[in-house]
Structure 1
């Protein structure tokens, strides 16, 4: 199959199974928690359970980002302004980038989503919407001012998460339709077409 690949491109096993399972589990749990938070029943038990699962998944991702396989580690996709600028200057060329892992734009998206989700689950643990029912499990361990601030931030971050998810999906569609690069399949199979000459 290698002779059918574009010149200078190879097929590599990039994303390991635990990382791929994390990705799809996070997508399901964040979607479910968001939907239940916005449109679910008044007693948000399921919202909390999905939130707890998101916490476990984020803990895994942080550990995997520090000690997992090389492509999964954060240092593998931390790029400086020069590399990011060069990548952006070629973004609208109608050809695949064959980037070996998260490209600089995708890396920014990953870090933004992780940071926002960490803030969201942290504030959720100490939130209290004043209904005396849906109280975060750690709300009684912090001051009332902290609870009010956390509750407010938790509510304000919900649309931010939606925006980041929509941008993520739009980027996938852009790469598929405009650049001819499938970013979904590698997150299913683990295999990705990458340039032999590393950026």
Structure 2
């Protein structure tokens, strides 16, 4: 009679390791909204559909206001304090950038943080310029153009187009970084930004923000965006 002994140990497959909750839902919504809005903003400007362009600009403004708020009130990985680092930390990370092994960072790494700040900063400048800008003929203008001179509004329009090109450069660098991490470091950055979770080993779950903070941020973003779109009317004036 053949076969294994009756007392042979039974091999068991260990349960899969739980994934770390990395990116909260607001961060992911804002991220992918920007990815959709940028080509839509370009196309509406290119095709001369300025009403839609303005509407998309106000949506972008609201998302920026929320993301800035969420950078202070959001979940642990969304907060600027958790990923913005000084020159020493950036240089230390850069020295090991081309190493395939290294410490797994929960959230943005020091160089990725520079990309986040650069994109958010450029988008803020772009939206601000659009609010004061006017077109070549002076027929279309942002809601705040009435507060500046014709020449200033005209300059804002020119800079509005130029800053968009700078944003495209930042986006291209961002995409190249994603490819670099995927192909060289074997680190998938896209899927976690879709699912919100990632295998980071035995690390503590980042602190998640309560729902009421997200609702507060949405109300704040919508209120300020509407106020700006109306030309900043003052109470009792109009």
Q: Which consecutive residues of structure 2, in runs of 5 or more, have no partner in the other structure?
A: 1-12, 205-238
What SS class does the counterpart of residue 169 from structure 2 fall into? helix
Contact 1:127 1:136 in 2 (8 A): yes
Instruction: Tell me which residue corresponds to 2:74.
Output: 68
TM-score w.r.t. length of structure 2: 0.74
Counterparts of 1:44 and 1:74 in 2: how far apart (Å)? 34
Range moving further from structure 2, 126-135 or 78-87: 126-135
Instruction: Tell me which residue corresponds to 1:129.
Output: 135
Counterparts of 1:43 and 1:187 in 2: how far apart (Å)? 31
Contact 1:124 1:136 in 2 (8 A): yes
After TM superposition, list the pairs within 5 Å mapping 1:24-43 onto structure 2: 24-37=32-45, 40-43=46-49
Per-residue deviation, residues 50-91 of structure 1 (Å, max 9, x unmatched): 111110100110110011111101111111212111110111
Q: Which consecutive residues of structure 1, in runs of 5 or more, have no partner in the other structure?
A: none
Larger radius of gyration: 2
Q: What is the aligned counterpart of 1:105 among 94, 106, 111?
A: 111
Q: What is the aligned counterpart of 2:29 among 15, 21, 25?
A: 21
Contact 2:96 2:102 in 1 (8 A): no
Quote the RMSD (CA, aligned, Å): 2.2
Instruction: Tell me which residue corresponds to 2:86.
Output: 80
After TM superposition, list the pairs within 5 Å mapping 1:147-162 onto structure 2: 147-162=153-168
Aligned length: 192
TM-score w.r.t. length of structure 1: 0.87
2:30 corresponds to 1:44: no
Counterparts of 1:20 and 1:182 in 2: how far apart (Å)? 15
